[in-house]
Amino acid sequence: MTKAGLDALLTPENSVVVLIDHQPFQFANLHSHEPTIVANNVVGLAKAAKAFNVPTILTTVLEERGGYLIKALQDVFPDQKPIDRTFINTWEDPKVVDVVKKTGRKKLILAALWTEICLAMPAIQAAGEGYDVFAVTDASGGVTAEAHDMAVRRMVASGVTPITWLAVASEWQRDWAREATLPAFGDIFAHAGGSGIAFAWEMQLLGHKARAA
């Protein structure tokens, strides 16, 4: 497992994404982050995965009790039915693991609610089974700031790499000369807060100039 050098970075060809339990029940007790920020970030991550054709698995736990996946996230993959589980630890559910294994990819990108349970458990187990695991910390959250922080520290101690959603998308893009994905990347960037808003404004100004010409 490479942790430094060019091969340590993510590419669309070596990545697989699993998004875990972004459901109403989990959001209701999310206190490490502002819930709307986590929702925004996981949708940005999902849109990036779709734009770069990165295999993405959606999964829920006890959907009938915990609620459906949040609509904005499901809307990114409208035809994909999330894998519903009883296992708290996603990596103990063969339905999810088998899908990941079929991709043949070893850089595993995870985001989940809550960090200390539904992110840490599968991240630690998968890292021990030879996957290069990336935990997307700002598309995840815990019941307290301490719970989230302790979980990230625990995962790092187990060999998991913490990363943020825009860093994932940027590693996939890597080169502004890759024009095929630039339009989608621009849409994704709208989820990047102030920078995204400024970028959208620049696109508006450029659009006006193009029409004037």
Is the pLDDT at 36 greater than 70, yes or no?
Answer: yes
Tokens linked to 202? 């620049």
User: Which residue numbers are catalytic?
Assistant: 118
Least reliable range by pLDDT among 12-26, 40-54, 88-102, 192-206: 192-206
- What is the pLDDT at residue 208? 52
pLDDT in tens, 159-191: 999 999 999 999 999 998 888 888 888 778 788
pLDDT in tens, 46-74: 999 999 999 999 999 999 888 999 999 99
**Among 103, 122, 124, 100, residue whose Cα is nearest residue 113:** 122
**Among 58, 55, 50, residue whose Cα is nearest residue 19:** 58
Q: What is the pTM of this model?
A: 0.92
What is the number of helices (H) and of strands (E) in the chain?
10, 6
